[in-house]
Structure 1
């Protein structure tokens, strides 16, 4: 017996995917000007097509899957809770470029999202935590981040990103 939303019925899956809230908000932007140094929080930044954020030290290749990193803003409170901290973790400590609220980013893997009127990202995969989380967050930091590490993306269309920009899910090309 097949479950109503599983199996070969792709139209049911498409219907479920369409129920995902389709708009979020860019809450935070950060760049890493120098390797292993703290991130710099910015009110806006220039996303470079098929590259990185302008001013970020990251060396990325054209067509690469990890040109920019994102984290779910709502997860900042969860990570803090796992560490026994009363306040949400500052997103800069987690070494991701963008913090987005209002959308389940993990549900957007292999989808495209638009920030404001210009920037389009393609969500490419998960951004798992590394040992730096122990350095940054203290003992237990790595485990606190497991399942909350965020996502990687390619910059399909560059442009200006601004804190407060709407983040919209674009229609799937297969739809």
Structure 2
């Protein structure tokens, strides 16, 4: 059941003055291949990022994002000093804005407009990538899946802003 937009909780959830930044972009050419780190990527309306294995996908998982601030937590919970973004296989690492607050709402990254669709749960590959318990280390820190509403080019350094 959706919240009443006039409720105190809905008003708190709508208050998102922070702006974030894209710190890193990665493409997954296929499930088995390493991530390709890029400075920019073409986002297709209703699809995904050019060069990514989900480029022609269903749309609700067009781009996957992870919170930069969560990387140290994932590292600590999986017994590592640090975790490289490519290890986690998300498309964008974003800092400065709480990604979960973008679930169910539209936001802009540079010229690209997105809609947060659902939390991005970890996949079974995290056990191999992070070691025993890697899957559980990522639970609650997996990021956000987003649908591309209006395509364009996403660049490292682009601002992330709730609409």
Is the aligned partner of 1:96 residue 2:90?
yes
Deviation, structure 1 residue 22: 3.0
The question of whether the paired residues in 2 share the 8 Å contact of 1:32 and 1:38 is answered with: yes
Is the aligned partner of 1:150 residue 2:150?
no
So what's the TM-score if we normalise by structure 2?
0.91
Deviation, structure 1 residue 14: 4.0
Aligned residues: 160
The correspondence for 2:71, drawn from 73, 76, 83, is 76
Cα distance between partner residues in 1 of 2:50 and 2:147: 14
What's the counterpart of residue 109 of structure 2?
Answer: 115
Matches within 5 A, 1:1-175: 10-58=6-54, 59-61=56-58, 64-87=59-82, 89-116=83-110, 118-170=111-163
CA deviation string 1:29-53 (max 9, x = no partner): 1101123211111111111111110
Cα distance between partner residues in 1 of 2:5 and 2:149: 30
Cα distance between partner residues in 2 of 1:8 and 1:145: 32
Deviation, structure 1 residue 65: 1.2
Deviation, structure 1 residue 162: 0.6
Give 1 or 2 for the bigger CA radius of gyration.
Answer: 1
The question of whether the paired residues in 2 share the 8 Å contact of 1:21 and 1:102 is answered with: no
The question of whether the paired residues in 2 share the 8 Å contact of 1:68 and 1:155 is answered with: yes
Cα distance between partner residues in 2 of 1:47 and 1:152: 14
So what's the TM-score if we normalise by structure 1?
0.85
The question of whether the paired residues in 1 share the 8 Å contact of 2:43 and 2:151 is answered with: yes
Cα distance between partner residues in 1 of 2:39 and 2:118: 26
Structure 1 residues 8, 77: closer, same or farther in 2, change over 3 A?
Answer: same
Structure 1 residues 8, 151: closer, same or farther in 2, change over 3 A?
Answer: closer
Task: Give unmatched runs, 5+ long, in structure 2.
Answer: none
